[in-house]
Amino acid sequence: MALKNIYLIRHGQSAENESGILSDGTAPLTAQGRQEATTVAARVQTLKPDTLMASHYLRAQQTAATISEATGLPVETYDFLFENRYPSWTIGKHHRAPDVLESALYIHDQYVEEDFKQDDAESFAELKERGQKTLSLLAAHSGQNIVVVSHGLFIRFLVGLMIFGNEFTGREFKALIHGFNTKNTGVTWCLYDESFHAKPWRLMTWNDHEHLAETNE
C-alpha cells in the first residue's frame, strides 16, 4: 500500500507581500524572502524528499530553485498550483484598498455558489477543479516524499479538499481563509494512505515555521 508524505510549502516573502501591491505572479522574492528560502531549503534536506514541485509564479519558482540547489532535485513546474485568481483589475492596487477589500470579501461570501464569478476572477468550481487535479497528481505520482512549493490560499484550499473531499464547500473554505494563518515558507505536512480508500488524506502539521526562528532574531 502506498504511503506518501506531502510537504506543502508557501513561498518566501515576495515584493508583493512586502509592499501589499498585488501582482500578476511576476513579483520576485525580497532579500528576506531569499533568506527564508535558504532556511527552509536546509530543513527540507532533513525530510529526504524525492520529488520537488512548484507553481509557475516567480516567487514560488525562486523558492523552489533554492530548495533544488540544496537537495539536487529538479523542479517540476505545474501551471495549476498558482494562487487563487482574483479580478485582473486589482493588479497594481494595494490589497487593503477599499475596492479591493470589498471585492475579495464579496467573492469569499459568494463561494457558496460554486459557479459564481466576479469579472475574470476564479470561481469556486474552477478552484475545485484544479485542486482535484493537484490531489490526483500527488496520489498518482511515483514520488513518496513530495515537496510542493505553492501559495497560502491555495494550500488552504488543498487541505480543505483533502479533509472534506467532494463535499468541500465555499462555507468551509471561507472559514479556512480567515482561521488558518500562513507564514512564508511554513511547512504543511500531509499523509496520503491509499489503504483508507474513502478518506486517504491526513493533515499532520499545519504551516510549521520553526525553522524561521533564527531568521527572525
pLDDT at 217 > cutoff 60: no
pLDDT of residue 27: 97
Give me the mean pLDDT over the 173-201 stretch. Answer: 94
pLDDT of residue 215: 60
pLDDT of residue 1: 53
| Residue 41 neighbours by CB under 8 Å, 6+ apart | 66, 67, 69, 70, 71
Q: Which string of b and e fits 172-191 if b means at least 16 CB within 10 Å? A: ebbebbeebebebbbbbbbe
Known binding residue 15? Answer is yes
Cβ neighbours around 166 below 10 Å, total? 8
Known binding residue 13? Answer is yes
Structure confidence by residue, pLDDT tens digits, 153-179 = 999 999 999 999 999 999 999 999 999
Confidence class for position 213, pLDDT limits 50, 70, 90? confident
Q: In this structure, which long-range contacts are made by residues 187-190, counting pairs with CB atoms below 8 Å and at least 24 apart in sequence?
A: 187/7, 187/8, 187/9, 187/40, 187/43, 187/44, 187/211, 188/7, 188/8, 188/9, 188/155, 188/159, 189/5, 189/6, 189/7, 189/8, 190/5, 190/6, 190/7, 190/8, 190/159, 190/162
What pTM value is reported for the model? 0.95
Structure confidence by residue, pLDDT tens digits, 17-39 = 999 999 999 999 999 999 999 99
Structure confidence by residue, pLDDT tens digits, 49-105 = 999 999 999 999 999 999 999 999 999 999 999 999 999 999 999 999 999 999 999
Question: Are the beta carbons of 154 and 83 closer than 8 angstroms?
Answer: yes
pLDDT of residue 146: 99
pLDDT of residue 112: 82
- Domain residue ranges in the chain: 3-212
Known binding residue 59? Answer is yes
Known binding residue 94? Answer is no
For the chain, percent of residues with pLDDT exceeding 90: 91
Known binding residue 16? Answer is yes
Known binding residue 85? Answer is no
Confidence class for position 216, pLDDT limits 50, 70, 90? low
Which fold would CATH assign to domain 3-212?
A: Rossmann fold (3.40.50)
